[in-house]
Amino acid sequence: MSNSMGNMIGTINRAVKRTDEVCPIHGTSLVYIQGVKKVKPFCMRCTIEQRDAQDKRMHEEYKVSRFRGYLKGQSLVDRADTFGYTFATFKSNTGTSEHYAKQAARQVAGTYLKQPDKKFNCLFYGNAGAGKTHLAMSILNAVNDNAEPMQRCLFLSVNKLIREMKNWFGDKTQVWSPKHVAELVHKADLVVLDDLGAESANSQATSFVQDTIFDIYESNQRIITTTNLSMDDLYKTYHSRLVSRMQEGGAGHVIDFSKIRDKRRGL
Protein backbone atom coordinates (compact mmCIF):
# COMPACT_ATOMS: atom_id res chain seq x y z
CA MET A 1 0.00 0.00 0.00
CA SER A 2 1.36 3.42 -0.86
CA ASN A 3 2.01 5.89 1.92
CA SER A 4 -0.57 8.38 0.77
CA MET A 5 -3.23 5.63 0.62
CA GLY A 6 -2.27 4.55 4.18
CA ASN A 7 -2.48 8.13 5.39
CA MET A 8 -5.88 8.54 3.83
CA ILE A 9 -7.30 5.39 5.49
CA GLY A 10 -5.74 6.50 8.78
CA THR A 11 -7.47 9.85 8.48
CA ILE A 12 -10.82 8.20 7.72
CA ASN A 13 -10.45 5.79 10.66
CA ARG A 14 -9.73 8.64 13.01
CA ALA A 15 -12.70 10.56 11.64
CA VAL A 16 -15.17 7.69 12.29
CA LYS A 17 -16.77 8.17 15.69
CA ARG A 18 -19.07 5.84 17.57
CA THR A 19 -22.43 7.00 18.91
CA ASP A 20 -24.57 5.57 21.73
CA GLU A 21 -27.16 4.37 19.22
CA VAL A 22 -27.13 0.68 18.33
CA CYS A 23 -28.08 -1.06 15.04
CA PRO A 24 -31.24 -3.13 15.72
CA ILE A 25 -30.00 -5.77 13.23
CA HIS A 26 -26.34 -6.15 14.15
CA GLY A 27 -26.28 -4.83 17.73
CA THR A 28 -23.22 -2.76 16.92
CA SER A 29 -22.78 0.92 17.52
CA LEU A 30 -23.85 3.36 14.85
CA VAL A 31 -21.08 5.67 13.71
CA TYR A 32 -20.73 9.06 12.11
CA ILE A 33 -17.90 10.77 10.31
CA GLN A 34 -16.45 13.63 12.26
CA GLY A 35 -16.68 16.85 10.32
CA VAL A 36 -19.47 15.58 8.05
CA LYS A 37 -22.53 16.97 9.75
CA LYS A 38 -25.19 16.19 7.17
CA VAL A 39 -24.77 12.37 7.31
CA LYS A 40 -26.96 10.68 9.93
CA PRO A 41 -25.26 8.05 12.16
CA PHE A 42 -25.17 4.71 10.34
CA CYS A 43 -24.24 1.04 10.83
CA MET A 44 -21.03 0.06 9.05
CA ARG A 45 -22.16 -3.54 8.58
CA CYS A 46 -25.55 -2.51 7.17
CA THR A 47 -23.77 -0.20 4.73
CA ILE A 48 -21.44 -2.97 3.53
CA GLU A 49 -24.32 -5.45 3.21
CA GLN A 50 -26.39 -2.97 1.21
CA ARG A 51 -23.48 -2.35 -1.14
CA ASP A 52 -22.87 -6.08 -1.59
CA ALA A 53 -26.57 -6.66 -2.30
CA GLN A 54 -26.52 -3.90 -4.90
CA ASP A 55 -23.41 -5.40 -6.55
CA LYS A 56 -25.09 -8.79 -6.65
CA ARG A 57 -28.26 -7.30 -8.13
CA MET A 58 -26.32 -5.50 -10.84
CA HIS A 59 -24.38 -8.65 -11.62
CA GLU A 60 -27.68 -10.60 -11.91
CA GLU A 61 -29.21 -7.97 -14.19
CA TYR A 62 -26.13 -8.00 -16.38
CA LYS A 63 -26.24 -11.79 -16.63
CA VAL A 64 -29.95 -11.76 -17.52
CA SER A 65 -29.42 -9.13 -20.21
CA ARG A 66 -26.53 -11.13 -21.69
CA PHE A 67 -28.66 -14.28 -21.90
CA ARG A 68 -32.36 -13.35 -22.12
CA GLY A 69 -31.51 -10.16 -24.01
CA TYR A 70 -29.67 -12.13 -26.70
CA LEU A 71 -32.88 -13.01 -28.55
CA LYS A 72 -34.13 -9.45 -29.08
CA GLY A 73 -30.68 -7.89 -29.15
CA GLN A 74 -28.98 -10.07 -31.77
CA SER A 75 -31.75 -11.60 -33.93
CA LEU A 76 -32.79 -10.68 -37.47
CA VAL A 77 -36.57 -10.70 -37.91
CA ASP A 78 -38.66 -9.59 -40.87
CA ARG A 79 -41.23 -7.97 -38.60
CA ALA A 80 -40.80 -6.88 -34.97
CA ASP A 81 -44.07 -8.55 -33.90
CA THR A 82 -42.47 -11.93 -34.62
CA PHE A 83 -40.95 -11.70 -31.12
CA GLY A 84 -44.47 -11.86 -29.68
CA TYR A 85 -45.23 -15.35 -31.07
CA THR A 86 -45.84 -17.83 -28.23
CA PHE A 87 -47.58 -21.19 -27.77
CA ALA A 88 -50.37 -19.30 -25.98
CA THR A 89 -51.11 -17.24 -29.09
CA PHE A 90 -51.01 -20.25 -31.47
CA LYS A 91 -54.67 -21.26 -31.79
CA SER A 92 -55.51 -24.82 -32.78
CA ASN A 93 -58.41 -27.21 -32.27
CA THR A 94 -57.92 -30.70 -30.88
CA GLY A 95 -57.63 -33.34 -33.58
CA THR A 96 -56.50 -30.96 -36.32
CA SER A 97 -53.11 -31.22 -37.99
CA GLU A 98 -52.05 -27.86 -36.58
CA HIS A 99 -52.83 -29.16 -33.10
CA TYR A 100 -50.53 -32.08 -33.82
CA ALA A 101 -47.83 -29.69 -35.05
CA LYS A 102 -48.19 -27.58 -31.90
CA GLN A 103 -47.88 -30.66 -29.68
CA ALA A 104 -44.78 -31.77 -31.57
CA ALA A 105 -43.26 -28.29 -31.26
CA ARG A 106 -44.00 -28.27 -27.52
CA GLN A 107 -42.12 -31.56 -27.18
CA VAL A 108 -39.19 -30.08 -29.05
CA ALA A 109 -39.23 -27.00 -26.76
CA GLY A 110 -39.27 -29.26 -23.68
CA THR A 111 -36.25 -31.22 -24.88
CA TYR A 112 -34.21 -28.12 -25.73
CA LEU A 113 -35.26 -26.58 -22.41
CA LYS A 114 -34.48 -29.52 -20.14
CA GLN A 115 -31.45 -30.89 -21.99
CA PRO A 116 -29.19 -27.93 -22.77
CA ASP A 117 -26.35 -30.22 -23.86
CA LYS A 118 -28.41 -32.41 -26.20
CA LYS A 119 -27.42 -31.77 -29.80
CA PHE A 120 -30.12 -32.14 -32.46
CA ASN A 121 -31.59 -30.11 -35.29
CA CYS A 122 -35.23 -29.69 -36.27
CA LEU A 123 -36.85 -29.16 -39.63
CA PHE A 124 -40.33 -27.62 -40.04
CA TYR A 125 -41.29 -27.86 -43.72
CA GLY A 126 -44.41 -27.29 -45.79
CA ASN A 127 -46.59 -24.60 -47.29
CA ALA A 128 -46.55 -20.93 -46.35
CA GLY A 129 -48.89 -19.68 -43.66
CA ALA A 130 -49.06 -22.96 -41.75
CA GLY A 131 -47.58 -21.47 -38.60
CA LYS A 132 -43.98 -22.70 -38.81
CA THR A 133 -42.44 -19.35 -37.91
CA HIS A 134 -44.98 -18.89 -35.13
CA LEU A 135 -44.11 -22.25 -33.57
CA ALA A 136 -40.37 -21.83 -34.06
CA MET A 137 -40.45 -18.48 -32.23
CA SER A 138 -42.73 -20.02 -29.57
CA ILE A 139 -40.01 -22.58 -28.87
CA LEU A 140 -37.39 -19.83 -28.56
CA ASN A 141 -39.61 -17.78 -26.24
CA ALA A 142 -40.37 -20.81 -24.06
CA VAL A 143 -36.67 -21.66 -23.74
CA ASN A 144 -35.66 -18.00 -23.34
CA ASP A 145 -38.15 -17.41 -20.51
CA ASN A 146 -37.84 -20.70 -18.64
CA ALA A 147 -34.44 -22.31 -19.08
CA GLU A 148 -32.43 -22.70 -15.87
CA PRO A 149 -29.53 -22.20 -16.36
CA MET A 150 -30.42 -19.54 -18.93
CA GLN A 151 -29.86 -20.23 -22.64
CA ARG A 152 -29.01 -17.74 -25.36
CA CYS A 153 -31.63 -17.89 -28.14
CA LEU A 154 -31.22 -16.52 -31.65
CA PHE A 155 -33.68 -16.08 -34.54
CA LEU A 156 -32.34 -15.44 -38.05
CA SER A 157 -34.54 -14.72 -41.04
CA VAL A 158 -32.46 -16.34 -43.79
CA ASN A 159 -33.60 -13.88 -46.44
CA LYS A 160 -32.68 -10.92 -44.27
CA LEU A 161 -29.41 -12.52 -43.19
CA ILE A 162 -28.26 -13.03 -46.78
CA ARG A 163 -29.22 -9.45 -47.63
CA GLU A 164 -27.32 -8.07 -44.62
CA MET A 165 -24.25 -10.14 -45.46
CA LYS A 166 -24.29 -8.93 -49.06
CA ASN A 167 -24.47 -5.39 -47.72
CA TRP A 168 -21.38 -6.11 -45.64
CA PHE A 169 -19.43 -7.20 -48.72
CA GLY A 170 -20.31 -3.84 -50.29
CA ASP A 171 -19.51 -1.85 -47.15
CA LYS A 172 -17.19 -3.43 -44.59
CA THR A 173 -18.26 -1.00 -41.86
CA GLN A 174 -21.60 -2.88 -41.70
CA VAL A 175 -22.24 -5.41 -38.92
CA TRP A 176 -23.07 -8.69 -40.66
CA SER A 177 -19.70 -10.06 -41.67
CA PRO A 178 -19.30 -13.86 -42.00
CA LYS A 179 -17.21 -13.72 -38.80
CA HIS A 180 -19.96 -11.90 -36.89
CA VAL A 181 -22.54 -14.47 -38.04
CA ALA A 182 -20.32 -17.43 -37.09
CA GLU A 183 -19.63 -15.99 -33.62
CA LEU A 184 -23.26 -15.11 -32.99
CA VAL A 185 -24.47 -18.57 -33.98
CA HIS A 186 -21.68 -20.34 -32.11
CA LYS A 187 -22.40 -18.44 -28.89
CA ALA A 188 -26.14 -19.20 -29.05
CA ASP A 189 -27.61 -22.23 -27.26
CA LEU A 190 -30.57 -22.49 -29.62
CA VAL A 191 -31.01 -21.04 -33.12
CA VAL A 192 -33.94 -20.67 -35.53
CA LEU A 193 -33.13 -20.32 -39.23
CA ASP A 194 -36.40 -18.98 -40.56
CA ASP A 195 -37.85 -19.31 -44.05
CA LEU A 196 -34.98 -21.05 -45.74
CA GLY A 197 -35.55 -21.01 -49.50
CA ALA A 198 -36.99 -17.48 -49.64
CA GLU A 199 -33.49 -16.22 -50.43
CA SER A 200 -33.20 -18.55 -53.44
CA ALA A 201 -36.69 -18.14 -54.95
CA ASN A 202 -37.28 -20.87 -57.55
CA SER A 203 -33.66 -21.55 -58.34
CA GLN A 204 -30.76 -23.52 -56.99
CA ALA A 205 -29.10 -21.70 -54.11
CA THR A 206 -25.92 -19.87 -55.04
CA SER A 207 -22.68 -21.20 -53.62
CA PHE A 208 -22.52 -18.15 -51.35
CA VAL A 209 -25.87 -19.06 -49.84
CA GLN A 210 -24.97 -22.75 -49.57
CA ASP A 211 -21.63 -21.98 -47.91
CA THR A 212 -23.21 -19.48 -45.52
CA ILE A 213 -25.90 -21.94 -44.45
CA PHE A 214 -23.40 -24.75 -44.15
CA ASP A 215 -21.14 -22.61 -41.91
CA ILE A 216 -24.12 -21.96 -39.67
CA TYR A 217 -24.77 -25.71 -39.23
CA GLU A 218 -21.06 -26.14 -38.54
CA SER A 219 -21.17 -23.49 -35.81
CA ASN A 220 -24.14 -24.86 -33.89
CA GLN A 221 -25.85 -28.24 -33.48
CA ARG A 222 -29.12 -26.99 -32.01
CA ILE A 223 -30.84 -25.39 -34.99
CA ILE A 224 -34.52 -25.29 -35.95
CA THR A 225 -34.96 -24.65 -39.67
CA THR A 226 -38.27 -23.58 -41.16
CA THR A 227 -38.93 -23.68 -44.91
CA ASN A 228 -41.88 -23.41 -47.28
CA LEU A 229 -40.15 -25.87 -49.59
CA SER A 230 -41.17 -29.51 -49.83
CA MET A 231 -38.56 -32.19 -49.22
CA ASP A 232 -38.17 -32.63 -52.99
CA ASP A 233 -37.63 -28.92 -53.48
CA LEU A 234 -35.13 -28.79 -50.60
CA TYR A 235 -33.01 -31.40 -52.39
CA LYS A 236 -33.34 -29.47 -55.66
CA THR A 237 -32.28 -26.19 -54.04
CA TYR A 238 -29.49 -27.27 -51.70
CA HIS A 239 -26.65 -29.74 -51.57
CA SER A 240 -27.86 -33.03 -50.13
CA ARG A 241 -25.36 -32.94 -47.25
CA LEU A 242 -26.95 -29.61 -46.26
CA VAL A 243 -30.45 -31.10 -46.29
CA SER A 244 -29.32 -34.02 -44.17
CA ARG A 245 -27.68 -31.60 -41.72
CA MET A 246 -31.06 -29.90 -41.23
CA GLN A 247 -32.53 -33.19 -40.07
CA GLU A 248 -29.74 -34.35 -37.80
CA GLY A 249 -30.96 -35.64 -34.48
CA GLY A 250 -33.57 -38.25 -35.28
CA ALA A 251 -37.29 -38.94 -35.22
CA GLY A 252 -39.88 -36.45 -34.04
CA HIS A 253 -37.81 -33.46 -35.03
CA VAL A 254 -38.90 -33.24 -38.65
CA ILE A 255 -42.41 -31.86 -38.82
CA ASP A 256 -44.48 -31.83 -42.01
CA PHE A 257 -46.75 -28.75 -42.12
CA SER A 258 -48.07 -29.44 -45.61
CA LYS A 259 -51.48 -30.62 -44.39
CA ILE A 260 -52.13 -27.43 -42.49
CA ARG A 261 -54.28 -24.82 -44.20
CA ASP A 262 -53.16 -21.21 -44.30
CA LYS A 263 -53.71 -19.85 -40.77
CA ARG A 264 -53.34 -16.27 -41.96
CA ARG A 265 -56.53 -16.47 -44.02
CA GLY A 266 -58.39 -17.11 -40.77
CA LEU A 267 -60.75 -19.62 -42.42
Binding site for Zn ion (CB under 5 A): 23, 25-26, 43, 45-46
- Asked if residues 199 and 159 have their Cβ atoms less than 8 Å apart, the reply is yes
How many other CB atoms are there within 10 angstroms of residue 80's CB atom? 8
**Cα torsion for 183, 188, 190, 195, to the nearest 10°?**
-40
23 vs 198, beta carbon nearer Zn ion = 23
3-state secondary structure 199-266: HHCCCCCCHHHHHHHHHHHHHCCCEEEEECCCHHHHHHHCCHHHHHHHCCCCCCCEEECCCCCCHHHC
Please state the closest distance from residue 48 (CB atom) to Zn ion, in A.
9
Please state the closest distance from residue 10 (CB atom) to Zn ion, in A.
24
23 vs 182, beta carbon nearer Zn ion = 23
Please state the closest distance from residue 37 (CB atom) to Zn ion, in A.
22
53 vs 175, beta carbon nearer Zn ion = 53
DSSP class of 195:
E
Long-range contacts of 49-55 (CB under 8 A, 24+ apart): none
Residue 153: closest CA among 186, 181, 190:
190
- Asked if residues 118 and 221 have their Cβ atoms less than 8 Å apart, the reply is no
Q: Where are the alpha helices (DSSP H) in 84-131?
A: 97-114
23 vs 254, beta carbon nearer Zn ion = 23
42 vs 67, beta carbon nearer Zn ion = 42
Please state the closest distance from residue 23 (CB atom) to Zn ion, in A.
3
- Asked if residues 254 and 222 have their Cβ atoms less than 8 Å apart, the reply is no
CB burial readout 183-208, b (16+ within 10 A) else e: ebbeebbbbbbbbbbbbbeeeebeee
Please state the closest distance from residue 121 (CB atom) to Zn ion, in A.
55
Please state the closest distance from residue 11 (CB atom) to Zn ion, in A.
24
44 vs 254, beta carbon nearer Zn ion = 44
20 vs 117, beta carbon nearer Zn ion = 20
